[in-house]
């Protein structure tokens, strides 16, 4: 039985007091405990950024990789041992900027990974530059006259790229976020969960108050989560009202399902004692 306390680490997070990252960490821990996952069968992978410190503060396996490369690392882990539960935590700069290409390909491959986007609409760790999801007009240290760029919409990107589970959470609603993480992790295939995560230090626009006044639960009304067009149209609603919840889910083969080498058992459990790679190595002598 996995209890919440089993997932606590000796170290405590170094995030600024009040940062939305605390709520995301709490939601991931609660989800792992609620699903009664064995911590030794869970791997949390990150890139670089404030959010990327998270694997240090949950007592599962973890991999704090390099900027934008959490997805390739997670892909390797999943393909080597598809029995593991692999969760990627990534910032908006990390996942939707420098690492965006990897994210798109992981979604179209339908790797069985859960991606949690800590979307604070700013580069937090590097002291407040404009990110790919910063709102147009946002004044930051890198755009003192206001950002002129159209922000990325992670949900429509996920829908267009073939993600089979697309959701939006809000750090201020940990009950809903935990539920989304549970559903996304149980989902067979790529789960994109974008999370509005207020950065209390650098983002003075998208604050907890900002979201509190706007967010509502899409799934509290009759919304058909198997309707791709409806999901596309609904995720554009980013004005006075902002929907959160599950937008889209569909079932199809995962990448591991279709790899003949993985049909019987995970790579790490296969007998490789009879594999002789000398002839291959000789080629490079
Ligand atoms: C290859 C590379 N380029 C740039 C950086 C500098 N850098 C570190 S974190 C970061 C952006 C972090 O923003 P985000 O991913 O949104 O994470 P947050 O800190 O907001 O959680 C950048 C540009 C780096 N570490 N490595
Ligand atoms: S800078 Fe922002 S994102 Fe980073 S820890 Fe502080 S509040 Fe959180
Ligand atoms: Mg960020």
> In this predicted structure, what is the pLDDT of residue 273?
87
Where are the domains positioned within the chain? 4-282
Q: What's the mean per-residue pLDDT of the chain? A: 97
Predicted confidence (pLDDT) per residue in 196-233, tens digit: 999 999 999 999 999 999 999 999 999 999 999 999 99
Of 3.40.50.1000, 3.90.1150.200, 3.40.50.970, 3.90.1150.10, which CATH number belongs to 4-282? 3.40.50.970
Q: Which of 112, 116, 119 is nearest to 164 (CA)?
A: 112
Pairing of strands 165-170, 191-196: parallel
Q: Using a 6 Å CB cutoff, which residues line ligand 2?
A: 15-16, 19, 21, 50, 120, 124-125, 199-202
> In this predicted structure, what is the pLDDT of residue 40?
97
Tokens of 238: 């980013």
Task: Name which residue sits closest to atom 5 of ligand 2, judged by CA.
Answer: 15
The backbone torsions φ and ψ at residue 117, rounded to the nearest 5 degrees and listed phi first, read -90, 115
Strands of the chain, DSSP E: 42-46, 61-64, 85-91, 114-119, 165-170, 191-196, 215-217, 242-249
On whether the CB atoms of residues 108 and 161 are closer than 8 A, the answer is yes
Question: For 36-45, what is the mean pLDDT?
Answer: 98
> In this predicted structure, what is the pLDDT of residue 131?
98
Residues near ion ligand 3 (CB < 5 Å) are 91-92, 120, 124
Band of pLDDT at residue 263, cut at 50, 70 and 90: confident
Least confident of 80-94, 204-218, 235-249, 260-274: 260-274
Pairing of strands 242-249, 165-170: antiparallel
- Centroid of chain to Cα 189: 13
Q: What is the DSSP code (8-state) at residue 158? A: H
Rg of the chain over all Cα atoms, to the nearest angstrom: 19
On whether the CB atoms of residues 254 and 189 are closer than 8 A, the answer is yes
> In this predicted structure, what is the pLDDT of residue 272?
84
């Amino acid at each position: 039985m996995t209890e919440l306390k089993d997932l606590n680490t000796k170290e405590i997070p170094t995030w600024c007091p009040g940062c939305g990252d605390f709520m995301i960490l709490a939601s991931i821990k609660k989800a792992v405990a609620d699903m009664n996952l064995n911590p030794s069968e869970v791997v949390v992978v990150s890139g670089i950024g404030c959010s990327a410190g998270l694997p240090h503060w949950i007592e599962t396996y973890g991999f704090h990789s390099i900027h934008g490369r959490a997805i390739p690392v997670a892909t390797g882990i999943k393909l080597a041992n598809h029995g593991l539960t692999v969760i990627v935590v990534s910032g908006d700069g990390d996942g939707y900027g420098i690492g965006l290409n990897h994210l798109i390909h992981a979604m179209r491959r339908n790797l069985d990974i859960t991606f949690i986007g800590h979307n604070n609409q700013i580069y937090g760790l590097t002291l407040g530059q404009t990110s790919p999801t910063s709102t147009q007009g946002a004044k930051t240290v890198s755009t003192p006259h206001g950002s002129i760029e159209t922000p990325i919409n992670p949900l429509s990107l996920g829908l267009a790229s073939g993600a089979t589970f697309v959701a939006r959470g809000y750090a201020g609603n940990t009950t809903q976020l935990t539920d989304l993480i549970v559903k996304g992790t149980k989902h067979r295939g790529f789960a994109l969960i974008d999370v509005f995560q207020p950065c209390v230090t650098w983002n003075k626009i998208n604050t907890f108050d900002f979201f509190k006044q706007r967010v509502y639960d899409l799934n509290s009304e009759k919304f058909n989560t198997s309707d791709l067009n409806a999901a596309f149209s609904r995720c554009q609603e980013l004005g006075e009202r902002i929907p959160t919840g599950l937008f889209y889910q569909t079932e199809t083969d995962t990448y591991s399902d279709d790899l003949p080498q993985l049909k019987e058992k995970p790579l790490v459990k296969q007998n490789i004692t009879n594999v002789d790679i000398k002839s291959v190595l000789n080629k490079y002598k």
